[in-house]
Structure 1
Amino acid sequence: MILKFFKNIGPGPLVAAAFIGPGTVTLCTLAGVNFGYTLLWAMVLSIVATIVLQEMAARLGIVSQKGLSEVIRSEIKHPLVRGFAILLILSAIVIGNAAYEAGNISGGALGMQTLFGNPFLELGSFKLNIMSLIIGLVAFVLLYVGNYKVLEKALIFLVVLMSLTFLTTAIITKPNLIEIFKSIVVPKFPEGSILTIIGLVGTTVVPYNLFLHASLAKTKWKDNSDLAFARKDTIVAVVLGGIVSMCIIISASAIPSQDISNASDLAKGLEPLFGVYAKYFLAIGLFAAGITSAITAPLAAAFVASGCLGWSTNLKSVKFRAVWMFILGLGIVFSTIGFKSIEIIKFAQIANGLLLPIIAGFLLWIMNKSSVLGTYKNSKLQNVLGFVILVITIFLGVKGILSVFKII
């Protein structure tokens, strides 16, 4: 039974790897430092919302044997609407992932620097970060191999490593289990916490994961009888990812100091309280979070671009490889030289803010079409949950856009 389950582990861990990047680690760290255990309930809400949407994406991929961007191309008939949808998707996912890739690589490098120091290579007036180059090279090799099973196994290993390190760190801090349970089941809104709550949901319910999941599910499974495996895979992986995020919040709650702005600071803050091992566990976790997101972001962008433009989504096709190489290459260069393009990141945030509710709405619409899914379309309960999540995504999208323009 257990062997059968492991044999059918699919893209779920890759989805978990994608949403637990350095940004999520930093946000969870700040949530724990500033509000203690209080916001754990927001992570539970995020986990439920993510499971509902990701299960729909996986089901769509398996039943239709198409990626989400391919379904959008075929099901939106009006050329102007279809053109706008494709342009928005390409802007949010391809440009967005290029903008965030440097952060993914830098986050992984930060974990390595906590363990091994911060070596630089000087080339003329440029100082190149060696750790960023190493992480970029590892991501390149795994993606270039172009073998789904190799990629899957590597990412499952990294997700398990990440989960164990953050879980161990949380246990080292000797948390109050009764308070944790109360914070999980009783929603509270401490003063100044609203933006953090929205952020916790927003970093877990990620638009590019819906595209990634549908594409990987059709690669892994070819038969409708595999839907049960896909559902279990999604639930286990997303819950595991949620537990990792909660462990980071719990670990950060143990720090009395407020001078914490990222996970590297958290690692240093834990050392005097709980010994050098806490620092090492957290640093390894941050490295795993960075490198897994550094692999999944270019992969998602390649699936999206190929689906939108009608190219082959074969992992070894030239055009598919060209997209992820472009994203990864930009990330490596920006991370290595320490360049931060704020304007590109702002544009990506606006595009993602627009895309999340649009894709959630489209997904809900398509999941009710018998012509696409037949008897596997949404049940009434799935539609109710989907509609509630759609309202949340609209709220998140509006907040994301307003925050870029500093209106809130």
Structure 2
Amino acid sequence: MHATIILCILLLAKLCPANWWLLATPTAYQFTLQFSTDYKDKCRQMHYLVARQRELCQISQNMLAIVSKGAQMGLKECQTQFAGRLWNCSTFFDTSIASLPVAAISQLDYSPIGRSNKSTQLKQGKLRKSVEVMMSDTPARQFQDVSDLFGGILKLRKLTRLNWNTRSTLPSKQCFICYYLSVSYFELTNLFRASDSREKAYVHAISAAGVAYSITRACSQGDLPSCSCDKDVHRRNFKNKRFHGDWEWGGCSEDVNFGERLSKDFVDSNELARSWADPAPKLMNLHNNEAGRRAIRANMKLMCKCHGVSGSCTVRLCWRRMADFHTIGQSLSEKFDGAVKVKFSGMRHKLKPYVAGLKKPTKRDLVYLQQSPDFCQEDSLLSIYGTKGRKCERDGYGTNGCAMLCCGRGYTTVVAEEVRDCKCKFQWCCEVKCEKCKYVMEEHHCK
């Protein structure tokens, strides 16, 4: 029986690969801000990171906080870009539907039926401890507020809920963990099939871009000891250093090259560590990670400042700076609409267009393997919340219009009265007086 349970634990390790996206949660970010001189020890305890990510975590005391900030940027931008669509990149933090509670595990009986001795108790303790560590992302369970990020496209704790009353129907408590895993396995299969969509493509792209952006900005601000401003841009133009038209290089150009490299090393290692995984989704994720990073480079800006006597522009110094992250999110949103469906070519171990004859996608394009699931109706298995109750525009013709967002189910209208300041006037001295006006507000929500 012990051997069976150990095999189940090994299966659990396979089914629950490391998920660095946990760093996008508020709890994770607050935890990384508490790193002190013992940060390397804490990095080594990050069980939700793969080995390479734990190594990179030890580069600097604030390395993980910078990555966490980038992950949060990606999540927030995703929600901004898709606020009016069927899939709105929603996030649900709830302790009640987190993975199997450690408290529940501690109640399980791992010992052989009808026998109990010191040796058995010792093995039981070690086994319970290993299960607890496996089932919680860290020994301290710092991230108990996590259920789903990105509206179920990434189900971080890829273990589903189970009715605890099911235990009474099992032949033995010892089989409970394996039963739990077997149920999860079949549900996971459906989740994986449904998640290799264009929505997942955007999630990977915006997340990788967020990490690269955060690292690059940290370098220019001196928050990472291993990088600074981009001096290569000056050296590349050394022969023509004095003038490039009517300007010359100066200031602090942001080192997007370093940001891309470190982001690639950190983010892509999550896929590269999964040697057992299906190659098609892995290649898809790596491709979209790269597309996200390249979106930053494609939107770099040239910033300039004049220097001279009495406001004259005798010398104009210029430097390269990243565009605001919203611009990058918008750029990737456009790529989302034009994403290319691909399939795996076993002969060449590459992805190719699903429809023969179509142009091969570039490294800046987003690619996906599966059609998107139905986001209209709630699907607890895929953590799709549906559009019931979503606010919509009654006369809108876009994706946020009630006709499209409510999926033909209709909508309800709520009329509310709001009192606000109006007709404000300045009176000498020194006061602003306003009248109170009533405004009738209408809100429309999908049935």
TM-score using structure 2 length: 0.29
- Higher relative contact order, chain-length normalized (CA < 8 Å, sep 6+): 1
Q: Give the strand-richer structure, 1 or 2.
A: 2
Q: Give the helix-richer structure, 1 or 2.
A: 1
The structure that has the greater radius of gyration is 2
